[in-house]
Amino acid sequence: MLLGLSIVLGFASIGFLCWLLFLCALYAAPLFVAAMVCTMLYYHAMMSGTHAILAGIAAGIMVLVSGQAILASSRDPALRVTVSTLLALPAALAGFGTALGLCGMGEMSAIPTYLFATFGALCVGGAAWARLCGIQPA
């Protein structure tokens, strides 16, 4: 009884985490930029923690707003594909890491693990790219 319940709850939790990953994949690029700016300013510019965090949040907001504005206002397909690809690449990296972590919980060898992780990166990056390309210009 408990074994069956744990299997069902395990599948439900993995499904929930995958749903959350696909839902939040659009925000991977602003989060990546915010974290990088925060880290660089804290360690290299010797800013205080609060100032570095606020600058990182501002940089992430600027990336999100500028990307959405370009996609919402541009009618040039090359620019739209380029911006969508640049915003979807961190989502693909997050999908790779998530699939690699989930495969690492089992007893798999390295080749199938990286194949599944690459498939996860393609799925998450492709879903984020498709959602970004779906933004219609005004």
pLDDT surpassing 90 at residue 6: no
Q: What is the pLDDT of residue 56?
A: 92
Range of the structural domain that residue 92 is part of: 76-138
Same domain, 124 and 106: yes
Query: What is the domain count for the chain?
Result: 2
Same domain, 80 and 136: yes
Same domain, 67 and 95: no
Same domain, 94 and 68: no
Q: What is the pLDDT of residue 3?
A: 78
pLDDT surpassing 80 at residue 129: yes
Q: What is the pLDDT of residue 34?
A: 93
For residue 44, CA distances in Å to 38, 40, 48, 95, 129 come to 10, 5, 11, 29, 33
Same domain, 93 and 51: no
Q: What is the pLDDT of residue 15?
A: 82
Same domain, 87 and 137: yes
Query: What global pTM score does this model have?
Result: 0.78
Same domain, 91 and 37: no
3-state secondary structure the chain: CHHHHHHHHHHHHHHHHHHHHHHHHHHHHHHHHHHHHHHHHHHCCCCCHHHHHHHHHHHHHHHHHHHHHHHHHCCCHHHHHHHHHHHHHHHHHHHHHHHHHHHHCCCCCHHHHHHHHHHHHHHHHHHHHHHHHCCCCC
- Domain-embedded: residue 17: no
What is the Cα–Cα distance from 34 to 96, expressed in whole angstroms?
20
- Domain-embedded: residue 48: yes
- Domain-embedded: residue 66: yes
pLDDT surpassing 80 at residue 1: no
Q: What is the pLDDT of residue 120?
A: 86
